[in-house]
């Protein structure tokens, strides 16, 4: 059977929305009375108005989503699996919050059963919120990273993860000596990195205060041996943290240099937060093509600060959004987008609905090296999409009656949306979650 003769599934919907970037301009691409054709390999073969679709002569299945709207699968570019159990632990800034709540929760992930159930629960929550790709932190334990790969593979999600590297600055239960850490990572990389197109490995130093020089050197060498692996970590989240890093890493000229000096910054590096980065650090990040992952609900919950998104964009740094559970307060990308909007609005920078959707779909996919694979609904890409049903939430359904344009309707979804309006989630054409019949 030639590729063009493979069976096609046509998804019909009331509307389709996705974003496109041309230069610095982000636009919302929309189709009304729309259809999306997907072949047996999960690739998009056509998109447009349903009335303009030609009936093919080969086998075709039609799925009518009624008043549903199709949007690209969301990307959560920074989320901590073991921290789901401490979400909403309030009252403390970053370093105290880690000590009081987080390290204890992560220590439990040494246990295989805890790690497996935790990974399964996160996969389930992400699918339920329309997230199809995620960059995830586990704990220091190899078994926890192993469980994430296993459970996300089974669920059909796209995953970037690795074991968290920590050998100083925390209780012994969440530390591992450098040589053992690197040895465990070699095994994980061999077993999981690129095992399928959906699974990739990320070298994951927690942050500059969790790693000794010996461990940082080992991680840099690991990256050199495995240049196709990603790097994910935290940077400049909190003023006290930045001061402590300056004290501990005296030989490095600033926070970014801690990672730079150990060969950990490049176009496959994701740096979470970056609220307090200097212009010079941002310029160096831009040159290296590293991504800044903005986590708005987390920044507000811990009181870490207000990211100046315009400053980041003006410096040319690529940026995308993430939940950062459990300092973040919600796995729903709608709520992440809304909080991002508020943080910029209070600084006089009013983002459009298209910009917000772009940051949590296409920009996120690009950060994870998936820009040519998913993140928008273009012919030739994999069909990663979500069927949303705003009618499932009465207040939103009522609001949409007076919303005249797709952009207004999208903004209303960003403001009022949650997992109740996520009807179905697809990865590469495969249904991985349905509200009607949970998988």
Nearer to Zn ion (CB atom), residue 116 or residue 233: 233
Taking CB under 5 A as the binding criterion, the range among 165-173, 184-192, 320-328, 393-401 that sits at the site for Zn ion is 320-328
Report, in Å, the least distance between residue 85 CB and Zn ion: 15
Let me know if 295 is exposed, middle or buried by CB neighbors in 10 A (0-12, 13-18, 19+).
Answer: buried
**How open is the CA angle 87-92-96, to the nearest 5 degrees?**
100
CB nearer to Zn ion: pick between 8 and 312: 312
Q: Which stretch binds Zn ion (CB under 5 A): 171-179, 222-230, 256-264, 323-331?
A: 323-331
Residue 324 found at the interface with Zn ion (CB under 5 A)? yes
CB of 292 to Zn ion, least distance (A): 13
241 binds Zn ion (CB under 5 A): no
Are the beta carbons of 31 and 20 closer than 8 angstroms? no
Q: At a CB cut-off of 8 Å and minimum separation 6, what does 287 contact? A: none
* Shortest separation between residue 136's beta carbon and Zn ion, angstroms: 10
Determine the interface stretch with Zn ion among 152-160, 196-204, 317-325, 342-350 (rule: CB under 5 A). Answer: 317-325
- Give the residue carrying structure tokens 């490095």: 252
Residue 436 is encoded by which pair of tokens? 């009607």
Give the x-and-dash track for 291-310 against Zn ion (CB under 5 A).
--------------------
CA distance 208 to 183: 21
HSE-CB of 49 using CA atoms within 13 angstroms: 3
| Binding window for Zn ion (CB under 5 A); candidates: 321-329, 371-379, 390-398, 425-433 | 321-329
| Identity of the residue, 146 or 324, whose beta carbon is nearer to Zn ion in the bound complex | 324
Please classify residue 190 by burial: count the beta carbons closer than 10 Å to its beta carbon, then call 0-12 exposed, 13-18 middle and 19+ buried.
Answer: exposed
Cα(200)–Cα(195) distance, integer angstroms: 8
Q: Mark the segment that binds Zn ion (CB under 5 A) among 151-159, 322-330, 335-343, 381-389.
A: 322-330
- 3-class secondary-structure state, position 26: strand
**Would you tell me how many other CB atoms lie within 10 Å of the CB of residue 142?**
21
Q: Which is nearer to Zn ion, 324 or 423 (CB)?
A: 324
Of the pair 281, 324, the CB lying nearest Zn ion is at 324
| Closest of 306, 233, 320 to residue 272, by C-alpha | 233
In terms of DSSP bridges, do strands 430-434 and 422-427 run parallel, antiparallel, or are they unpaired? Answer: antiparallel
Q: Which is nearer to Zn ion, 128 or 233 (CB)?
A: 233
Which of the residues 15 through 74 are near Zn ion (CB under 5 A)?
none
State whether residue 320 is helix, strand or coil: strand
Say how many CA atoms lie within 13 Å of 306 toward its Cβ.
12
- How many residues of this chain bind Zn ion (CB under 5 A)? 1
Q: Are strands 291-294 and 430-434 parallel, antiparallel or unpaired?
A: unpaired
**Rounded to the nearest whole angstrom, what is the least distance from the CB of residue 24 to Zn ion in the complex?**
28
Nearer to Zn ion by Cβ, of 39 and 76: the residue is 76
Q: Which residue matches tokens 């996705």?
A: 18
Question: In the complex with Zn ion, which residue's Cβ is closer, 238 or 332?
Answer: 238
Residues numbered 177 to 196 that lie near Zn ion (CB under 5 A) are: none
Q: CB of 106: closest distance to Zn ion in angstroms?
A: 12
Q: Does 76 bind Zn ion (CB under 5 A)?
A: no
* 341-360: contacts with Zn ion (CB under 5 A): none
Name the residue whose CB lies closest to Zn ion.
324
- Token readout for 101 is 């709540």
CB of 324 or CB of 382, closer to Zn ion: 324
Is the N-terminal amide bond of 6 cis, ω within 30° of 0? no
Q: Which of residues 253-292 bind Zn ion (CB under 5 A)?
A: none
Q: Which residues in this chain contact Zn ion in the complex, by CB under 5 A?
A: 324
């Amino acid at each position: 059977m030639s590729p063009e003769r493979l069976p096609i599934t046509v998804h019909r919907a009331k509307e389709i929305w996705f974003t496109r970037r041309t230069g610095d301009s982000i636009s919302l691409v929309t189709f009304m009375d729309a259809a999306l054709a997907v072949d047996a390999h999960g690739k998009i073969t056509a998109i447009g108005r349903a009335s303009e679709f030609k009936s093919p002569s080969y086998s075709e299945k039609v799925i009518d989503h009624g008043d549903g709207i199709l949007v690209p699968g969301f990307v959560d570019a920074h989320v901590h699996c073991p921290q789901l159990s401490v979400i909403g632990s309030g009252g403390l800034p970053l370093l105290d919050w880690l000590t009081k709540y987080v390290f204890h929760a992560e220590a439990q992930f040494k246990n295989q059963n805890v790690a497996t159930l935790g990974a399964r629960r996160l996969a389930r929550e992400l699918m339920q919120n329309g997230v199809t790709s995620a960059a995830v932190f586990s704990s220091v334990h190899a078994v926890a990273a192993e469980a994430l790969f296993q459970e996300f593979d089974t669920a059909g999600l796209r995953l970037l993860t690795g074991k968290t590297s920590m050998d100083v600055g925390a209780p012994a239960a969440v530390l591992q000596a450098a040589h053992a850490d690197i040895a465990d990572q070699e095994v994980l990389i061999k077993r999981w990195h690129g095992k399928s197109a959906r699974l990739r490995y990320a070298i994951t130093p927690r942050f500059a205060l969790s790693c000794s020089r010996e461990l940082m050197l080992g991680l840099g060498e690991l990256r050199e041996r495995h240049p196709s692996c990603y790097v994910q970590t935290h940077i400049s989240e909190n003023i006290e943290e930045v001061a402590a890093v300056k004290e501990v890493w005296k030989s490095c000229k600033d926070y970014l240099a801690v990672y730079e000096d150990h060969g950990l910054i490049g176009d496959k590096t994701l740096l979470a937060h970056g609220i307090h980065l200097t212009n010079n650090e941002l310029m160096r990040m831009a040159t290296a093509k590293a991504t800044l992952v903005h986590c708005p609900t987390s920044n507000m919950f811990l009181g870490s600060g207000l990211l100046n998104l315009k400053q980041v964009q003006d410096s040319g740094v690529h940026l995308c959004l993430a939940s950062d559970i459990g300092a973040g307060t919600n796995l729903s990308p709608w709520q992440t987008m809304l909080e991002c909007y508020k943080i910029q609005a209070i600084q006089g920078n009013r983002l459009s609905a298209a910009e917000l959707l772009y940051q949590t779909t296409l920009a996120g996919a690009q950060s994870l090296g998936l820009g040519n694979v998913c993140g928008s609904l273009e012919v030739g890409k994999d069909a990663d999409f979500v069927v949303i049903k705003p009618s499932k939430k009465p207040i939103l359904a009522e609001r949409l009656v007076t919303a005249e344009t797709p952009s207004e309707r999208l903004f209303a979804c960003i403001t009022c949306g949650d997992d109740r309006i996520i009807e179905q989630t697809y990865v590469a054409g495969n249904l991985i979650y349905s509200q009607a019949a949970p998988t």
